[in-house]
Amino acid sequence: MLTAKDIKGFVFAAGLGTRLKPLTDSIPKALVTVDDKTLLDIVLENLSAQGINDFVVNVHHFAEKIIEVLKNRNNVTISDESALLCDTGGAVKHARTILGSAPFLIHNVDIISNFSLNYMLENHRDNAIATLLVSERNTSRYLLFNGDMRLVGWTNVSTGEVKSPFKNLNVENCRKLAFAGIHLLSNEVHPLMDNYPDKFSIIDFYLDNAEKFEIYGLVQPDFKMVDVGKPESLAKAADFLNATK
């Protein structure tokens, strides 16, 4: 079984943070504070406390401000996307050299949760190229899984759109779960991205490869999270942090 020391942490901190305007008019989303602590520090401290020692952080929007904040952390390497915001899949391709041969955990910088790394490591299957943390919560877009929790598709329930590599997929027979922005990836994903453009979505990558390779969802019991996407979610995030101290 993988241990925390076997993996790198990859914090997605390059986003424009448009939903957090006007806060992100002058600072990157990663440096927005909750109870006087930045979102970036919250994620790094959480993952460090769970045993990850080596981190990659991608930057784009106000990149220099994040680089300045992290300059004294000798266990963090910057993946600089200043020239092009690579999207979630492109971010992995762009950071391939930095990530090296280690498995890696991706964590969105705007997710605050009671995520358990040990639970994910214990339930990551040996043949899987990725394990995606998912939960039952109301949203418009869901990942679709079969009875074995293998990824088989995606749907937008507001529009009825469905994406799947499996022909004649019956959405009604699938389990609909919301992605939590936390996922564990094998280094086997790197060569699979060779023919992808510099900018692409990791979800599209998963859907493209879900038939050929094993990608699984994982539901953590009693999982709770706050998506710090809008200014009004900051108070909810502060309450969440105080409740979990």
Q: What residues pair up with 175 in beta bridges, in sequence order? A: 145
Mean pLDDT over residues 50-61, rounded?
98
pLDDT above 80: residue 245: no
pLDDT above 90: residue 24: yes
Share of the chain above pLDDT 70, in %: 100
Q: What is the predicted pLDDT for the residue at 117?
A: 98
Write out pLDDT tens, residues 164-220.
999 989 999 999 999 999 999 999 999 999 999 999 999 999 999 999 999 999 999
Buried-exposed string 214-245: b where 16+ CB fall within 10 A, e elsewhere = bbbbbbbeebebbbbbeeebbeebbebeeeee
Write out pLDDT tens, residues 228-238.
988 999 999 99
Q: What is this structure's pTM?
A: 0.96
Distance separating alpha carbons of residues 66 and 84, to the nearest angstrom:
16
Q: What is the predicted pLDDT for the residue at 150?
A: 98
